[in-house]
Amino acid sequence: MRMLKLFTFLACFIAISFVIQGYFNHNHEKSKAKNSIVKSHQTDLEFKKFEVDEELNSPNDEKTVYLTFDDGPTSATTHILNTLHEFNAKATFFMLEPSMKEFPEAVHKIVEEGHGVGLHGVTHNKTLFYKSEKSALNEMTTAQETLEQITGIKTNLIRTPYGSVPYLTESYRKVLDRHGFKLWDWNVDSNDWSLSGKKYVNTVIRQIEKLIDAGETPIILMHDKENTANQLYNLLTYLTEHGFQMKKIEENTKPYNFNCYDRCRQLST
């Protein structure tokens, strides 16, 4: 009888031990799994935070600038094109009709190298160009036809002599707009026609920095002339080192026009 009780006691003790051991093992595994899930979740959160931080801390270094050259083509055009090619830069050339006839090879080279082409009229004489709405329209259509004859390309991009303010009044604008022309002014004046050497580059850089601080895209007015060509390398070096993409103006690019700018003044009567 004693042996039976002892056997029963031992059997119960062993069974209870197994139950207790199983309980602790189960809780231990649960704890390990929980810790693993927590660590994994923390890792995921850290990774996601890293991704967000990377996105927030990765500034968009690509900034656009439009280089534009007026009054060409000239004997300096090839020099300008070679420098642009060296920097893989694109520009837009607003050309005069007589100059296109004088330098047709330069016009072809501008197009072949993927630059933008625009019209600057015929006379570059404010008295003749702005004589009437018809005279302004005729100069642009004449230049348009000559460009098309030389290259087979028809462009609607125009820049009027001396810019649109103050001479291009509302009636002129309506006529040009009605014939599909897209008027372009500028917001950076290089003054390369009056500043010698590197001075025009320095004045351009100062204006660009102000525009970038204001969140505006620089549209640089330059001229197709030798002094401009000689210093262009320095300007393009600055633009490249500061992350600018030098693009041409497309037909579907939204035009920029003076909003009085610092050019508004009363017309003399």
pLDDT band at 96 (very low <50, low <70, confident <90, very high): very high
Question: Which residues have CB under 8 Å from 86's CB, separation 6+?
Answer: 233, 236
Distance between CA atoms of 211 and 187, rounded to whole angstroms?
Answer: 8
Q: Residue 222's closest CA among 183, 191, 187?
A: 191
Q: How much is the pLDDT for 62?
A: 76
> Measured on CA atoms in the order 198, 201, 206, 207, is the torsion positive or negative?
positive
Q: How much is the pLDDT for 266?
A: 58
DSSP lists the bridge partners of residue 223 as: 70
Strand-pair category, 188-189 with 219-223: parallel
Does the structure show a pLDDT above 60 at 163?
yes
Axis crossing angle, helix 104-112 with helix 133-151, rounded to the nearest 10:
70
Across residues 201-210, what is the average pLDDT? 98
Across residues 235-260, what is the average pLDDT? 96
Distance between CA atoms of 142 and 199, rounded to whole angstroms?
Answer: 35
- Active site residue: 70, 185, 189, 192, which one? 70
Across residues 202-207, what is the average pLDDT? 98
Across residues 177-183, what is the average pLDDT? 98
Across residues 3-12, what is the average pLDDT? 46
Is the preceding omega at residue 98 within 30 degrees of 0, hence cis? no
The distance from CA 243 to its chain's CA centroid, rounded to whole angstroms, is 10
Q: How much is the pLDDT for 196?
A: 86
> Measured on CA atoms in the order 85, 87, 92, 97, is the torsion positive or negative?
negative
Domains observed in the chain: 63-247 (3.20.20.370)
Q: How much is the pLDDT for 137?
A: 98
- Active site residue: 79, 115, 124, 223, which one? 223
CA atoms within 13 A on the CB side of 188: 27
Across residues 49-65, what is the average pLDDT? 50
Question: Which residues have CB under 8 Å from 260's CB, separation 6+?
Answer: 165
pLDDT in tens, 16-27: 454 445 544 544
State the chain's mean pLDDT as an integer: 83
Q: Which two tokens stand for residue 52?
A: 């967000």
Across residues 78-94, what is the average pLDDT? 98
Distance between CA atoms of 182 and 176, rounded to whole angstroms?
Answer: 8
- Of 36-40, 78-82, 117-121, 220-224, the range with the lowest mean pLDDT is 36-40
pLDDT in tens, 113-162: 999 999 999 999 999 999 999 999 999 999 999 999 999 999 999 999 99
pLDDT band at 259 (very low <50, low <70, confident <90, very high): confident
CA atoms within 13 A on the CB side of 109: 18
Distance between CA atoms of 31 and 39, rounded to whole angstroms?
Answer: 12
Identify the helix (H) or strand (E) that includes residue 6: helix 2-56
Across residues 211-221, what is the average pLDDT? 97
Catalytic-residue membership of 70: yes
Q: How much is the pLDDT for 4?
A: 42
Q: How much is the pLDDT for 124?
A: 98
Catalytic-residue membership of 262: no
Across residues 39-46, what is the average pLDDT? 41
Q: How much is the pLDDT for 20?
A: 46
Distance between CA atoms of 218 and 29, rounded to whole angstroms?
Answer: 65
3-class DSSP assignment, residue 246: strand
Across residues 216-240, what is the average pLDDT? 98
